Structure 1
Amino acid sequence: MASPYMTFSREQWRGLRASTPLTISDEELACLQGLNEKLSLSEVADIYLPLSRLLNLYVGATQELYHATHTFLGKQDKKVPFIIGIAGSVAVGKSTTARILQTLLSRWPNHPKVDLVTTDGFLYPNRVLEERGLMKRKGFPESYNTKRLVSFLSDVKSGVPEVAAPVYSHLVYDIVPGEWQVVREPDILIVEGLNVLQTPVDEKQRRVTEVFVSDFFDFSIYVDAREEDIMKWYVERFKLLRETAFSNPASYFRRYANLTDEEATAVATSIWTEINGINLRKNILPTRGRAQLILEKGPDHMVQSVKLRRL
């Protein structure tokens, strides 16, 4: 059966960069990458520059389409943000992908204002999760206030001048009361999260008029890797966090700061097995085929191939 995707090797994808300039320095990349992701500028040049060029072309075409529609309707041009969704497992590197793309896309002249919002801010507060018995299902679809996220994206797409998103703290592992991220008419909005391509798992819950988060996306990306590699990265990151975030007295995970390597490996593996791995297989991985582009990573966190959905 023919695939809905065109598949590009790393070498083939690199060739699509054309003359797109590299606008990120080593110092900037060090600030953008994740704790245990040691990406090189060659990874940016080979993978993310061609992707930024593709997205720039999509943004330009979409802007022209909106302009044509407004001309037909006899209305004044109104800026409509181009929204990019980025999905993938915990620890797969989607946050790094989002930050690198935000930086690269903001340096194209026709869309300099690029905002990034993570769906962590739309998790229910811990008190609500505790009331509903969902603390061990944090990150699963039911742990998010999806209605609020849909409302947020609807307002952004409708051109509301200022739209506020709740702020989540990974340090305290909870929503920060009274703190907001305000989005003010960006040219591009990147929305990064585990379940941004999710549709209702239970078909009985589906409604003809139901609106999904992905309905607001102009382009979607899934960051993919083998589960055994993702689990290894998760365990490595957990062990590194003992010396950084976990050592902070305010950290929700302060109790893990003094674990030995063996103890930390056991705890992280248990969390993956009981929570993150299940969420990946049941909820996240099944949405991969809904993405317009898939970045396929190898064991070293480097992208080995790219799949682009056929038009």
Structure 2
Amino acid sequence: MDQQSPPVSPHRVFTRDEWARLRADTPLTLDEGDVTRLKSLNDPILLDEVVQIYLPVSRLLSLYVAAIQNLYQATRTFLGDEDGVMPFIIGIAGSVAVGKSTTARLLRALLRRWPNTPKVDLMATDGFLLPNAVLKREGLMERKGFPESYDRPALLAFLNDIKSGKQSVAAPCYSHLTYDIVPGESVVIERPDILIIEGLNVLQTSRLPKDGKAVPFVSDFFDFSIYIDADEPVIRSWYLERFLQLRQTAFRDPDSYFHRYASISEAEATAFAEGLWERINLQNLHENILPTRPRADLILRKGANHLVEEVALRRI
């Protein structure tokens, strides 16, 4: 009788308890106040989550950074290049409302407090969205957040400059209040030791040309990648909850792009948010974001309570 072969996976899966034990002697350098300041709206992360999930991640990253720096040094020796250490780039992907920003800020805070106090910067890909005027002209406002809504050449040029060790690299500034690029403003990254890049589609690829021409992907510049995962109905509920909370806070600012939704009824606001989820965010998740999950080096899978329940680490 034929026996069914076990499923093959490029990742090794850990339960929450198994992963927590991999912290080893990594010190806890954050307190409750730090975690409260770092978490995003509607992302109730606790200090226990930092201890059990993010300290092991920090330890893993410290080992990866050391290994990659040794590889850089070997390459520089081979090339006879005396240039300094190149930045280690971490990519964080996942759906809207899944907690990417909180994860990115927590990791930045933990990595900055390593004993050698590296310079750690954080950049969201929102700054590389095309301005609303361009999106409207191209009929892409309903596709905002989809791959075609980004200035991909500018993002690739930014990452290339970072990875090349350029001293100062500027990126456009994005306002979540006005929901648009801020004209004339930029964010400057000054040669970090570690750069965290957070965005919906940072792990996405595209069809390769048959003529063999180079088609760089954003993820080509990553030394390590993380995907924040959760079941679709759970992400939907988090998205709706966040929208309704923003209606009571940020949307009340007259300068907010969504200010008009602060004064309508909760039922109307919920219906509008559900429409945004179905038309835009769910479609983007299905078409562009979720398919990139297997490409991540580390997958953090959350339950409905926002806690990471399972961790998958890519096999070397």
1:184 matches 2:190: yes
Structure 1 equivalent of residue 4 of structure 2: none
Distance 1:205 1:87 in 2: 28
Residues 205 and 124 of structure 1: is their aligned pair in 2 closer, same or farther, counting only changes over 3 Å?
A: farther
Distance 1:205 1:191 in 2: 30
Distance 2:176 2:221 in 1: 26
Query: Which SS does the other structure have where 2:84 is aligned?
Result: coil
What is the CA-CA distance between 1:28 and the residue it aligns to? Answer: 1.3
Q: Which runs of 5+ in 2 are unaligned?
A: 1-6
**AA matched with 1:148:** A
Query: Which SS does the other structure have where 2:228 is aligned?
Result: strand
Structure 1 equivalent of residue 256 of structure 2: 251
Contact kept in structure 2, 1:83 and 1:190, CA below 8 Å: yes
1:287 matches 2:287: no
Deviation string 1:117-176 (CA, Å, 9 cap, x unpaired) is 000000000000001000010000000001100000000000110000101000000000
Deviation string 1:1-56 (CA, Å, 9 cap, x unpaired) is 32111000000000000011111111111111111111110000000000010001
**AA matched with 1:89:** S
Structure 2 equivalent of residue 85 of structure 1: 91
Distance 1:65 1:207 in 2: 27
Structure 2 equivalent of residue 309 of structure 1: 314
Distance 2:258 2:119 in 1: 35
Q: Segments of 4+ in structure 1 off by > 4 A?
A: 202-207
Query: Which SS does the other structure have where 1:287 is aligned?
Result: helix
Which of 114, 130, 140 aligns to 2:146? It is: 140
Contact kept in structure 2, 1:222 and 1:291, CA below 8 Å: yes
Query: Which SS does the other structure have where 1:46 is aligned?
Result: helix
Contact kept in structure 1, 2:131 and 2:180, CA below 8 Å: yes
Which of 45, 50, 54 aligns to 2:51? It is: 45
Query: Which SS does the other structure have where 1:242 is aligned?
Result: helix
**AA matched with 2:239:** Y
Identity of aligned residues (%): 61
What is the CA-CA distance between 1:203 and the residue it aligns to? Answer: 5.7
Q: Which runs of 5+ in 1 are unaligned?
A: none
Contact kept in structure 2, 1:83 and 1:217, CA below 8 Å: yes
What is the CA-CA distance between 1:109 and the residue it aligns to? Answer: 2.8
Which of 106, 111, 120 aligns to 2:112? It is: 106
| TM-score of the aligned structures, taking structure 1 as reference length | 0.97
Aligned length: 310
Task: Say what the alpha-carbon RMSD is for the aligned residues.
Answer: 1.4
1:43-82 matched pairs, under 5 angstroms: 43-82=49-88
1:169 matches 2:145: no
Structure 1 equivalent of residue 3 of structure 2: none
